[in-house]
């Protein structure tokens, strides 16, 4: 299967970097439309009792994620891959699925750290949730 439009989800973590580096090793990605997405999200613990997050916190998170996005784009460019950067604000799975639909992507690529039992239940799994919501194939790179 040939992937023409690829969405790489990137958050600057070890797992995200592993997915980014894996994309660099896939020579078939050369000449493809690559889109790098960073999502500024607010953990539920940051919501105030009124149910909103102060604008300053959102702006701080957007600035932080923009720097991470710029780092990812520079890494891809250093490895001779051209990519378009996207910064979104919201829930990561929803934003990945939304942008993949909007761009008509063939593949979403994410990094994943394996966790077991209680930790997986408590933290949830973005990769697993993404598979349920994605409009296209999902490639999950595993970091142990």
pLDDT digit string (tens) for 5-40? 999 998 887 677 777 777 666 656 667 899 999 999
Topology of the domain covering 5-143 = Rossmann fold (3.40.50)
102 vs 47, which has greater pLDDT?
Answer: 102
Residue 92 has pLDDT above 50, yes or no: yes
Element (DSSP H or E) covering residue 121: helix 117-123
Residue 142 has pLDDT above 80, yes or no: no
Q: DSSP assignment, residue 64?
A: H
Tell me how many helices (H) and strands (E) the chain has.
Answer: 5, 5
Q: pLDDT at residue 121 above 50?
A: no
Q: Where are the alpha helices (DSSP H) in 14-54?
A: 14-25
């Amino acid at each position: 299967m040939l992937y023409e439009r690829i969405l790489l989800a990137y958050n600057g973590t070890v797992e995200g970097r592993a997915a980014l580096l894996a994309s660099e090793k896939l020579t078939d990605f050369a000449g493809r439309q690559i889109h790098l997405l960073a999502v500024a999200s607010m953990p539920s613990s940051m919501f105030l009792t009124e149910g909103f997050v102060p604008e300053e916190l959102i702006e701080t998170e957007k600035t932080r994620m923009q720097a991470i996005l710029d780092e990812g784009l520079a890494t891809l460019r250093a490895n001779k891959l051209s990519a378009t950067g996207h910064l979104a604000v919201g829930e990561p799975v929803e934003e990945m699925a939304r942008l993949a639909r909007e761009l008509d992507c063939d593949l979403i690529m994410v990094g994943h750290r394996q966790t077991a039992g209680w930790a997986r239940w408590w933290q949830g799994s973005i990769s697993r949730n993404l598979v349920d919501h994605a409009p296209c194939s999902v490639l999950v790179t595993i970091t142990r």
